[in-house]
Amino acid sequence: MDDADGRGEAINTACSDQVTMMVRIVNGVVEDARFQTQGCAAAIAAAGATTLLVMGKTVEEALNIDVDQVVEYLEGLPEAKIGCSVIAPLALQRAIGDWKSRQSG
């Protein structure tokens, strides 16, 4: 996403896989969200689910998206893969934080 308003990264320390989330925010609403990831299928699925969950949400709602919502959206993940899905909502929170920091600057 060339015109991202916020960008955030998170790394799974267990395997060093990474997710980057990018958001475009208009009038406090997430108009678009994209991701890049170097990770397993669960990490990719979680990142995709996170982008679908966040679009159309207010910034405050976006900050409340957590791993439980992501796993529910995916209709479950194997227990061993839950850790892989944590990094997507974390990267999203960091992308929102990046957007916020750009607003105050």
Residues 52-81 that bind ligand FES (CB under 6 A): none
Which H or E element spans position 46?
helix 41-54
Torsion of CA 3, 64, 20, 10, to 10 degrees: 150
Among 4, 5, 8, 12, binds ligand FES (CB under 6 A): 12
Task: State yes or no: residue 39 binds ligand FES (CB under 6 A).
Answer: yes
Q: Which DSSP string do the residues of 50-90 spell out, in sequence order?
A: HHHHHTT-BHHHHHT--HHHHHHHTT---GGGHHHHHHHHH
Binder to ligand FES among 43, 45, 67, 90 (CB under 6 A)? Answer: 43
17 binds ligand FES (CB under 6 A): yes
Is 40 part of the annotated catalytic residue set? no
DSSP 14: T
1, 11, 29, 40: which one contacts ligand FES (CB under 6 A)?
40
Contact positions toward ligand FES, by CB under 6 A?
12, 15, 17, 39-40, 42-43, 84
